[in-house]
Amino acid sequence: MQKASASCLHGIDVSHWQGEIDWHSVKKANISFAYIKSTEGRTYTDPRFISNARGAIAASIPTGAYHFARPDNNPTKQGAIEEAKHFIKTMAEGFGKNRFGDIHPVLDLEVPPAKKDSKAATHEILEWAASFDRYFTENTGRALMLYTGSYFIKEHNNFNHPAHGFILAHMPLWIAMYPHARGNPDYPDNTGGWTRWTAWQYTSSGKVKGIKGNVDLNWAVPDLIRSC
């Protein structure tokens, strides 16, 4: 995949773990976009989603939401649909009716469906994510971005479905890969059917004014905002 370039946007992703955020200070720190945890599983809503969404919007930061997938709770198509419904409903509470953020909504896929052989796990997790994506796009009209780690893709047969190939590769990719970690390359390798990232989470220990403690930092291509 590509290296980060001078044209890339710099952004953060946050959840309730960051506590109260001074979003106007974040804006002044030249942060160009923010992803905020919205939901997890079928019923959990991040307790700071509403306040974070409204704070980021008030500071004029292009803002998106992400859903932390839990296929381990229900690895079926219906389980994926129930999680997508919860994500859609909660975004409306944070962004307004029929609004889904300024930038791509995101499915955060980093939990395997169950402890079983890798072939079966790959089959289930890819079909689960495809069901979530299909329901989400059909009911919002918005393209869904996939967040996952390079290690997670490798653990699941390079996200290559045994019968149908790279069934998620049409989704914009937000890849987590930390070049400072031992053994990692300087920038993400081609993986899972993707040759280009839309966003790249490159560290979990960043520092940004307005946020206490560590925060995830990301690069993104300008199209992250232009295409939404």
Active site residues: 13, 108, 110
Alpha-carbon distances, residue 117 vs 21, 114, 120, 125 (angstroms): 42, 9, 6, 12
> Alpha-carbon torsion 201, 197, 193, 86, what sign?
positive
Q: How far, in Å, CA of 205 to CA of 194, rounded?
A: 26
> Alpha-carbon torsion 106, 112, 113, 118, what sign?
positive
Residues 105 and 91 sit within 8 Å (Cβ to Cβ): yes
